[in-house]
């Protein structure tokens, strides 16, 4: 599962997704950019695996468990 699929499925903000996968909000925005655009970045396999595991865990819980970081 890609970060974009996870974000859309669970109705997450970019900030929430960034907290869950341990990346910056800017990196998440690059994952969401249109393929072929200058700012687009493909998520590595490790992030896709993490997103799949988070989805599986949240499916069992019935809701996302999101760790928030203090700014």
Q: What's the pLDDT tens digit per position in 12-71?
A: 999 999 999 999 999 999 999 999 999 999 999 999 999 999 999 999 999 998 877 665
**Dihedral sign, Cα of residue 19, residue 56, residue 43, residue 40:** negative
Residues 15-32: tens digit of each pLDDT: 999 999 999 999 999 999
Residues 6+ apart with CB under 8 A from 21: 3, 28, 47, 50, 51, 54
Alpha carbons within 13 A on the beta-carbon side of 41:
14
What is the pTM for the complete model shown? 0.88
Token pair, residue 46, equals: 């490790």
């Amino acid at each position: 599962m890609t970060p974009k699929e996870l974000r859309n499925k669970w109705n997450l903000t970019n900030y929430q997704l960034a907290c869950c996968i341990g990346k910056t909000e800017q990196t998440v925005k690059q994952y969401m950019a249109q393929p072929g655009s200058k700012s687009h970045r493909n998520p590595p396999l490790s992030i896709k695996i993490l997103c799949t595991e988070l989805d599986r865990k949240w499916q069992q819980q019935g809701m996302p468990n999101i760790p928030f970081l203090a700014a």
